[in-house]
Amino acid sequence: MVTELAKKAEFYGIKKEWAELEIFPIIQTPTSDLLAPFLVKKLKISSPKDAKQLLEAKEIAYKEGFYQGVLKVGDFKGEKVEVAKPKVREQLIKAGEAFAYSEPENKVVSRSGDEWYVLKSSNLSAVAVR
């Protein structure tokens, strides 16, 4: 959390001003155009150790932002995030400013002790890799 960095800048070995960033709203949701700070206050999140509240905030923000959010900036301004996301992705890839990748979502250990990772991908709903 940026606020945590600003509060404990010396502990993290950074300058306080590096963490005091102005948040620029890019998605309007029914709740707020700055949903994350709103949820931090609403759920009384005070540090990265508030794991339960952070998980709840993440789920709320991702669902509301994706399904009800509308872009406020860019080439797809005014479009729902759900519709605009694949367009933005394709635009960035075509411009050479991004590339498609997948990252491990969850680690799974089989009964035989093999470790697997469940990946999310825009092309597949989920795939497991060893």
> What pTM was computed for the model?
0.68
CATH (domain of 79): 3.90.740.10
Tens digits of residue pLDDT in 19-78: 888 889 999 999 999 999 999 999 999 888 899 999 999 999 999 999 999 999 999 999
Q: Residues 64, 115: one domain?
A: no
- Triad 21, 103, 37: Cα angle to 5°: 25
Amino acid identity at 15: K
- Residues with Cβ within 8 Å of 29's Cβ and at least 6 positions away in sequence, in order, are 35, 64, 65, 68, 69, 70
Tens digits of residue pLDDT in 1-16: 677 778 888 888 998 8
Q: Tell me how far the alpha carbon of residue 51 is from its chain's centroid.
A: 15
Q: Residues 11, 38: one domain?
A: yes
Q: Which residue has the tokens 């700070």?
A: 37
